[in-house]
Amino acid sequence: MAQIGFVGLGNMGLPMARNLIRAGHAVTGYDLNIAASDKFAAVGGVAATALDMACMGADVVITMLPARKEVREAYLARGGILASAPEGALLVDASSVDVETARAVAAAAQVNELSMVDAPVSGGVPAAEAGSLTFMVGGSDRTFERAKPILEAMGTTIFHAGGVGDGQAVKICNNMILGVSMIAVAEAFLLANKLGIDPQTLFDIASKASGQCWAMTSCCPVPGPVPSAPANYGYQAGLTAAMMLKDLKLAQEAAKVSGAKSPIGAAATALYALYVEQGSAQSDFSGIIQFLRGPEKAKDQGMPVKEAANN
């Protein structure tokens, strides 16, 4: 069993760290937010009060942080992970960030003689809780084989996507599919409503027909058909709209740099930007259906309304 430092104990990090503890690893966790550290201590973890404490004696350091700024800072800053991790430690960044950040941090790790993989995840909070995440890993064959048994305590499907940064590249493409498909599912449920079709009827049929997708069958944006979906809990995240917007922006950035065409990805990015701007950054991303419904409905529900699309 390994000594693991876990940095970032939020919606995803906390259940992931708890599954490592359940698998018998000794986990020391660190989060800037004291409430998150307290929750971690309550599930049996050792809560560190500083980043370097979480790295002390670690065989493996895992990060699950919001975005590139936090990842660069946690690894590269003075007193950060690269400076604090013991020689030979394995570093795993499971956050969703841009490819360039993943490659820059891994290159800096190599200079410090530390091995690193990028290992972003799919499945959301339910899969993080259940230990059934999908990992998309970028790194050398050797480092992937080292990371795999640790990742298996948090996920059931561990893919080796390619070299360093390739896990993030796949993740960015995957989440563009997710963001776009959530809008398509939301629009379809709004249209069905206008056409007098019960949401459960649309769900029962479309989930067995060619409209089937994760956004509908695991995170249905209307209350009812999927009891565990955030729609049943006032769109409490889950994956926040702010995080989805971040991922869609990463995809647009990557499309621009690589010369790929992405008109629907661009439209989805613009819609999420409006939804976030309207005050819904911390709502689940499936809450975009409230925005798409339009201002009248949103006002009825007591939501702050700035601008909304027509349906």
Active site residue 246: no
Give, as one character, the DSSP assignment of residue 45: P
For the stretch 183-215, what's the b/e string if a residue is b when 16 or more beta carbons lie within 10 angstroms of its beta carbon? bbbbbbbbebeeeeeebeebbeebeeeeeebbb
C-beta of 32 vs 191, nearer to ligand NAD = 32
The CB-of-32 to ligand NAD minimum distance in angstroms stands at 4
Q: Which pair of structure tokens corresponds to residue 138? A: 């970028």
Contact status: 238 vs ligand NAD (CB under 6 A): yes
Residues that bind ligand NAD (rule: CB under 6 A) add up to a total of: 27
CA 179/CA 186 separation, integer angstroms: 11
Q: Which pair of structure tokens corresponds to residue 45? A: 């973890």
CA 38/CA 51 separation, integer angstroms: 15
CA 187/CA 222 separation, integer angstroms: 11
Footprint on residues 170-229 left by ligand NAD (CB under 6 A): none
The CB-of-199 to ligand NAD minimum distance in angstroms stands at 23
Which of 43, 52, 53, 70 binds ligand NAD (CB under 6 A)? It is: 70
Q: Distances from the Cα of 217 to the Cαs of 173, 199, 200, in angstroms?
A: 20, 13, 12
Q: Mask of contacts with ligand NAD, 115-154, x by CB under 6 A?
A: ------x--xx-----------------------------
Footprint on residues 47-66 left by ligand NAD (CB under 6 A): 64-66
Binding piece for ligand NAD, criterion CB under 6 A, among 182-190, 203-211, 238-246, 297-305 = 238-246
The CB-of-169 to ligand NAD minimum distance in angstroms stands at 15
Q: Distances from the Cα of 161 to the Cαs of 47, 114, 140, 170, in angstroms?
A: 32, 20, 10, 7
Q: Which pair of structure tokens corresponds to residue 174? A: 């995957």
Contact status: 95 vs ligand NAD (CB under 6 A): yes
Which of 1, 32, 50, 260 binds ligand NAD (CB under 6 A)? It is: 32
Contacts of 81 (CB under 8 A, 6+ apart): 5, 7, 51, 55, 61, 63, 74, 75, 91
C-beta of 21 vs 121, nearer to ligand NAD = 121
Contact status: 13 vs ligand NAD (CB under 6 A): yes
Which of 6, 30, 40, 144 binds ligand NAD (CB under 6 A)? It is: 30
Residue 35 parent element (H or E): helix 34-42
The CB-of-74 to ligand NAD minimum distance in angstroms stands at 5
Burial-class residue 161 by CB neighbours within 10 Å (0-12, 13-18, 19+): buried
Contact status: 33 vs ligand NAD (CB under 6 A): yes
Contacts of 216 (CB under 8 A, 6+ apart): 181, 185, 203, 206, 207
Contact status: 276 vs ligand NAD (CB under 6 A): no
Which of 4, 5, 6, 7 binds ligand NAD (CB under 6 A)? It is: 7
Which of 243, 250, 268, 292 binds ligand NAD (CB under 6 A)? It is: 243
Catalytic residue among 69, 148, 171, 261: 171
Residues with catalytic roles = 171
Contacts to ligand NAD by CB under 6 A: 7-13, 30-33, 36, 64-67, 70, 73-74, 95-96, 121, 124-125, 238-239, 243
